[in-house]
């Protein structure tokens, strides 16, 4: 495994870093306050091609490798996590079902508009009674001639308020458990689809989550992604990608927090000397730097495996588990190093401390990652 990034990815990382520093960092707190990313910034993100990172080139995307995606996610996470979430919901979990299993006609019609950011996709799996146990979902899809009729309710769907397309997971036969799950591409204006109001949440103010109700939505059979019963495997494949993206993002966020901690520890004077001169503070910096490097290594290893076409489920889960927990520890130390200032609104540590918390919850909680990793070990 080569630990050096290929030249083109190094340059891509530098380009995104410059964009983040120039355009995203100055408005990071504004996004938090207004719970919205300004349209002009979304346009700049579109112009840079960020909406189409992993969409294949033949459909107008950049067709980046897993490694390339990780480089961009790390950089995009240095200002406010909402910028990454906006991008990755659309051209990660919100479009990969279509990339992996959509019919050529469906792909031809929708991937270019997703890649350009003209249209937005989202991923609707979670239900009130089915979170970690996704296979127990209750949304049904009943075949009726050349169509399916979908009934059910989804909760906490990121970007549902602005999405044009929904990758909806439903079951064609509940008695089959995970083998009944089937994915559908559902357009927003489908009669029977309604999006509820956005739910208030602890952090990530800048992107929103909402309920999605499907009350007798009729979709053509051609909107099915893959075969009946392929949905669970498809969801797991999409989530492998999402977990790696979260892992890379955790590294970028932790790196940014470390830089802020170092700067504060150098300049904040108490008892007549910079607080960095206290071993208690210096060790927090040392532990954070060490854990960030270890985390980055896990991201690279998982991406490398994925790019070689190897099965990388365990490695994506290991990367997500370690990196999200590492970032939580670093954010906690950052609050400590900043002292009372780290608890005040408007401080970078305070915002990341809240925003990063969800990385241990969604796209599989830490406990579910441990389940995936241990099952893979035990089953060989
Ligand atoms: C901000 C936000 C955005 C989200 N966006 C989306 C989205 O876009 N699309 C989407 O489909 N979903 C989304 N979700 C939902 C998210 O994926 C789920 O919240 C997550 O999968 C966990 O499910 P749950 O909340 O029902 O927790 P539960 O499954 O109820 O788990 C509760 C606790 O029990 C533990 N637990 C459960 N089963 C086991 C077990 N077998 N062994 C050990 N411990 C276990 C869990 O780890 C957790 O600690 C989002 C959630 C949030 C908070």
CATH number of the domain to which 108 belongs: 1.10.540.10
Residue 200 lies in a domain: yes
For residue 127, the CA-to-ligand 1 centroid distance in Å is 10
Binned average pLDDT, 10 residues per bin, the chain of 380 residues: 83 96 96 95 94 95 96 97 93 93 97 96 97 96 97 97 97 96 98 96 96 98 97 95 97 98 98 98 98 97 95 97 98 98 97 98 98 94
pLDDT in the model for residue 90: 84
Residue 238 lies in a domain: yes
| Shared domain check, 310 and 295 | yes
Q: Total structural domains in the chain? A: 3
**From atom 29 of ligand 1, which residue's Cα is the shortest distance away?**
132
| Shared domain check, 45 and 26 | yes
Q: Which of helix, strand or coil describes residue 306?
A: helix
For residue 321, the CA-to-ligand 1 centroid distance in Å is 14
For residue 356, give Cα distances in angstroms to 330, 332, 362.
10, 10, 11
| Shared domain check, 363 and 239 | yes
pTM equals 0.97
Closest atom, ligand 1, to C-alpha of 364? 21
**Pocket lined around ligand 1, Cβ cut-off 6 Å:** 122-126, 131-132, 156-158, 201, 204, 209, 358, 361-363, 365, 367-368, 371
| Shared domain check, 277 and 346 | yes
For residue 124, the CA-to-ligand 1 centroid distance in Å is 13
Residue 363 known to be catalytic: yes
Residue 157 lies in a domain: yes
Residue 241 lies in a domain: yes
pLDDT in the model for residue 2: 63
Which candidate in 199, 363, 367, 379 is catalytic? 363
Tokens representing residue 372 in the block = 């995936």
| Shared domain check, 214 and 265 | no
Q: Ligand 1 pocket: which of 81, 94, 95, 131 to mutate (most atoms <8 Å of CB)?
A: 131
For residue 364, the CA-to-ligand 1 centroid distance in Å is 6
Query: Where among 86, 115, 144 does a domain terminate?
Result: 115
| Shared domain check, 141 and 86 | no
| Shared domain check, 375 and 239 | yes
Place of tokens 């071993």: 279
pLDDT in the model for residue 1: 60
| Shared domain check, 221 and 127 | yes
Residue 81 lies in a domain: yes
Helices (H), 168-278: 231-267
| Shared domain check, 76 and 43 | yes
Distance CA 300, CA 219 (A): 40
Q: Which domain holds residue 46?
A: 7-115
Q: Which of helix, strand or coil describes residue 211?
A: strand
How does DSSP assign 135-192, residue by residue? GG---EEEEETTEEEEEEEEEEEETTTT-SEEEEEEES-GGGGGGGEEEEEEETTSTT
Residue 1 lies in a domain: no
Query: Where among 115, 150, 165 does a domain terminate?
Result: 115
Residue 2 lies in a domain: no
**From atom 11 of ligand 1, which residue's Cα is the shortest distance away?**
125
Distance CA 334, CA 343 (A): 10
| Shared domain check, 157 and 79 | no
For residue 132, the CA-to-ligand 1 centroid distance in Å is 5
Closest CA to 245 of 88, 140, 372: 88
Residues counted in the chain: 380
Closest atom, ligand 1, to C-alpha of 159? 8
| Shared domain check, 328 and 275 | yes
Residues 6+ apart with CB under 8 A from 173: 180
Q: What angle do CA 340, 348, 23 make, to 5 degrees?
A: 155
Query: Where among 228, 262, 288 does a domain terminate?
Result: 228
| Strands annotated E in the chain | 121-124, 140-144, 147-158, 165-171, 181-187, 193-198, 209-220, 224-225, 269-270, 273-274
pLDDT in the model for residue 362: 97
CATH number at residue 275: 1.20.140.10
Closest atom, ligand 1, to C-alpha of 126? 11
**From atom 7 of ligand 1, which residue's Cα is the shortest distance away?**
157
DSSP, res 198? E
Residue 279 lies in a domain: yes
For residue 129, the CA-to-ligand 1 centroid distance in Å is 10
| Shared domain check, 332 and 310 | yes
Residues 6+ apart with CB under 8 A from 353: 331, 332, 334, 335, 342
pLDDT in the model for residue 154: 98
Q: Ligand 1 pocket: which of 132, 139, 245 to mutate (most atoms <8 Å of CB)?
A: 132
CATH number at residue 155: 2.40.110.10
């Amino acid at each position: 495994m080569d630990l050096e990034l290929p030249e083109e990815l190094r340059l891509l990382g530098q380009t995104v870093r410059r964009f983040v520093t120039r355009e995203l960092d100055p408005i990071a707190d504004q996004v938090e306050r207004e719970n919205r990313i300004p349209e002009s910034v979304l346009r700049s993100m579109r112009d840079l091609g960020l909406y189409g990172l992993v969409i294949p080139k033949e459909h107008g995307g950049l067709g980046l490798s897993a490694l390339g995606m990780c480089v961009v996610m790390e950089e995009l996470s240095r200002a406010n996590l909402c910028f990454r979430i906006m991008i990755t919901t659309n051209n990660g979990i919100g479009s990969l079902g279509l990339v992996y299993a959509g019919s050529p006609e469906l792909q031809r019609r929708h991937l270019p508009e997703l890649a350009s950011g003209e249209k937005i996709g989202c991923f609707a799996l979670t239900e009130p009674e089915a979170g970690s146990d996704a296979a127990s979902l209750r949304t049904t899809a009943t075949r009726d001639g050349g169509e399916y009729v979908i009934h059910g309710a989804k909760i906490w769907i990121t970007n549902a308020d602005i999405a044009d397309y929904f990758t909806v997971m439903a079951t064609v036969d509940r008695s089959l458990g995970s083998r009944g799950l089937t994915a559908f591409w559902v357009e927003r204006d489908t009669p029977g689809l309604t999006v509820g109001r956005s739910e208030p949440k602890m952090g990530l103010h800048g992107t929103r989550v909402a309920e999605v109700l499907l009350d007798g939505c009729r979709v053509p059979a051609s909107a099915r992604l893959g075969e009946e019963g392929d949905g669970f495997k498809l969801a797991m494949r999409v989530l492998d990608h999402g977990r790696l993206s979260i892992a890379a993002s955790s590294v970028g966020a932790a790196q940014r927090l470390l830089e802020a901690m170092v700067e504060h520890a150098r300049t904040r004077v108490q008892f007549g000397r910079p607080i960095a001169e206290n071993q208690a503070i210096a060790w927090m910096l040392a532990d954070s730097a060490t854990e960030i490097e270890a985390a980055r290594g896990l991201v690279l290893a998982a991406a490398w495996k994925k790019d070689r076409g190897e099965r990388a489920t365990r490695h994506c889960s290991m990367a997500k588990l370690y990196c999200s927990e590492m970032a939580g520890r670093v954010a906690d130390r950052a609050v400590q190093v900043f002292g009372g200032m780290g608890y005040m609104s408007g401080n970078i540590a305070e915002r990341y401390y809240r925003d990063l918390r969800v990385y241990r919850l969604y796209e599989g909680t830490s406990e579910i990652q441990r389940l995936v990793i241990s099952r893979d070990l035990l089953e060989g």
